[in-house]
Amino acid sequence: MNNIDEKYRKYFLVKEMLEVKKVLAAMDPLQVFEFTKHIKHKKILLTGEGSSRIFPAKKVIYDARYHNYKEMIITEGASQSAEYNLDDYTVFIASNSGKTKEGVKLIEKLKKKKHKNIIAVVAHKSTEIINNADYGYLLVSGHEEAVAATKTVVEQALFYDILFRKSNNQKLPDLNKLGNLIEKVLRMKIPEKIVNKLVSSKMIYFSGRNNGVSEELTLKANEITRKKSDYLEGTYAVHGIEEVMSADEIIIAIDPFQEEEAKIQKTLVKGIGMTVIAISTRKTSFPTLQIPDYGEFNPYLELAMGWNLLIETALKQGIDLDHPQRARKIGNEFEQRI
């Protein structure tokens, strides 16, 4: 994709994807570090709905387990979180709009219980969630016009990533380097043969680690390509679901486990006739969209390559990227009671 060709340039969705580099350059890690002093409990809940939760929360949870962070970090949707005892949790509520009903209702319940450690991560000031939280981080990415969230997703994820890496003395990302790499991936040419495979598929599966990338791209496939999609965690693709898979479906494998590739080839490619496409820093046994290697920050590049692929697939189908028929920017907006 690019911001020169009219077929890309006319869409807010493409524009906002390509603004990620600028967003990362504008982020100030020192402002993020300030929030370490607001974390009063070692138990952490990261909540939100849809894209405000999936990748931002699950990326940092993966890192927390990998590095054995001192915090115990969990994630859940706000409505289910409201059923939990969160008295000894620091609660982060992420919402692009700051008006998400589930988040507002969770704050109301916590406030009734005298909870005093709620932190908002939102893109709009003077909104219900940030106004009623104890502390708030206002995203520098600002307002998004496109229904599918993109630049805010990356900034929300980096807010958590930087915050908890700082808390646990882990390596921090070079935001300028990461921004440049994301832009490079977004501008990579996707082979037409791969795009045509997605266009003709009746179902798109995303498989990979439970770090938010595959699951977030599953949601984006629904919003952008208007195709049915499903997330297959880990090696779930060869643990029973193959019984109902067919040759006119496709799997996008995000950084596949190398030792499992032979099984996937045998069961899905040869056994069913499915197409499997990989996104990885290495060449795999499948057709591979290869990305640069930036170590623990590769999930951001995997996400960007997925965006790139979905944009090309949607445009090939003649889809209006900015105007889905049913999806809304604020999935479930809080309405002020009069």
d(CA 10, CA 252): 27
d(CA 10, CA 207): 31
Residue 332 confidence (pLDDT)? 60
Chain segment 34-82, per-residue pLDDT in tens: 999 999 999 999 999 999 999 999 999 999 999 999 999 999 999 999 9
d(CA 198, CA 335): 39
Residue matched to tokens 């104890």: 134
Residue 328 confidence (pLDDT)? 55
Chain segment 80-98, per-residue pLDDT in tens: 999 999 999 999 999 999 9
Cβ atoms within 10 Å, residue 290: 15
d(CA 119, CA 95): 11
Query: What's the token pair of residue 225?
Result: 């390509």
Residue 327 confidence (pLDDT)? 63
Q: Helix (H) and strand (E) counts for the chain?
A: 14, 10
Question: For the chain, which ranges sit under pLDDT 70?
Answer: 326-338
Say if residues 120 and 104 touch (Cβ distance below 8 Å): no
d(CA 120, CA 35): 11
Q: Kind of pairing, strands 72-75 and 89-95? A: unpaired
Residue 31 confidence (pLDDT)? 97
Residue 338 confidence (pLDDT)? 41
Residue type for 169, please? N
Q: Set out the domains of the chain in order of their start, with CATH numbers.
A: 6-174 (3.40.50.10490), 188-316 (3.40.50.10490)
Q: Pinpoint the alpha helices (H) of the chain.
A: 6-9, 12-18, 20-26, 29-33, 54-67, 78-81, 101-112, 128-132, 151-167, 175-186, 192-200, 213-225, 261-264, 298-316
Residue matched to tokens 């899905």: 268
Closest C-alpha to 103, from 82, 73, 87: 82
Residue 67 confidence (pLDDT)? 98
Cα radius of gyration rounded to whole Å, the chain: 20
Torsion on CA atoms 267, 269, 274, 276, rounded to nearest 10: 110
Q: Please enumerate in sequence order all residues whose Cβ is within 8 A of that of 242, keeping only pairs 6 or more positions apart, or say none.
A: 267, 268, 271, 272
